């Protein structure tokens, strides 16, 4: 097996599920026996402030948890989109919540995927599922973890905490995955 390292950077307001999104990918990679780092960063205030995390998944030991040129960037709000669009590795993917941010293309060397994640989550009557919609897109667009592993992790981590939202979280994941597969 050749060397494999993928990096993900997620950013948004505190309370949007940015950290959980990164954790779900990290837990899935651990379950698949990969090396993983997850590095959170919070603004001075928890809810409403900025929050981001970097995730590195590899088949070999990881030297640093810092993600500087991610393969995939997720931006859940306008400040995050403006700040981190430049950091996407050429050939990488930028996924953003188009309900919370507007994108004016400045690059032609990355794939850009707008996702109406807030609208989808709202239609499912689970406003907190924005990150799960985005997870579906990330998994469909990348090889961090398999679809089966992502589904298991959603059931284990989110289903255990809030079983009443498991069905809508799975629907959110499926809708996000459809968007990812169609790009």
Q: 0.85 exceeded by the pTM? A: yes
121 pLDDT more than 70: yes
Write the pLDDT tens digit of every residue in 57-104.
Answer: 999 999 999 999 999 999 999 999 999 999 999 999 999 999 999 999
- Structure tokens given for 37: 């780092």
Query: How many domains are there within the chain?
Result: 1
Rounded Cα distance, 85 and 92, in Å: 10
Q: Are strands 50-58 and 5-13 parallel, antiparallel or unpaired?
A: antiparallel
Closest CA to 17 of 66, 88, 74: 74
Q: Could you tell me which residues come within 8 angstroms of residue 121 by beta carbon, excluding any fewer than 6 positions away?
A: 127, 128, 129, 130, 132, 133, 172
Domain residue limits at 163: 5-181
How far is residue 170 from each of residues 93, 135, 163, measured CA to CA in Å? 23, 11, 11
**Helices (H) then strands (E): counts for the chain:** 7, 6
Tell me if 92 sits within 8 A of 108, measured CB to CB. Answer: no
Per-residue confidence (pLDDT) for residue 1, from 0 to 100: 53
Q: Are strands 50-58 and 111-115 parallel, antiparallel or unpaired?
A: unpaired
Q: Residue 51 maps to which CATH number?
A: 3.40.920.10
């Amino acid at each position: 097996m050749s060397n494999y390292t993928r990096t993900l950077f997620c950013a948004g307001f505190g309370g949007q599920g940015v950290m959980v999104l990164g954790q779900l990918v990290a837990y899935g990679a651990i379950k698949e026996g990969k090396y993983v780092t997850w590095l959170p960063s919070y603004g001075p205030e928890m809810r409403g402030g900025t929050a981001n995390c970097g995730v590195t998944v590899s088949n070999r030991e990881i030297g640093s948890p810092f993600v500087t040129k991610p393969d995939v960037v997720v931006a859940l709000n306008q400040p995050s989109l403006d700040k981190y669009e430049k950091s996407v590795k050429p050939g990488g993917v930028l996924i953003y919540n188009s309900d919370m941010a507007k994108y004016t293309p400045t690059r032609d060397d990355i794939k850009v995927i707008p996702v109406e994640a807030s609208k989808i989550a709202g239609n499912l009557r689970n406003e907190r599922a924005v990150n799960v919609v985005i997870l579906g897109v990330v998994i469909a667009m990348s090889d961090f973890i398999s679809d089966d592993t992502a589904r298991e992790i959603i059931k284990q981590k989110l289903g255990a905490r809030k079983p009443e939202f498991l069905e809508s979280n799975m629907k959110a994941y499926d809708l996000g995955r459809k968007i990812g597969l169609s790009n």
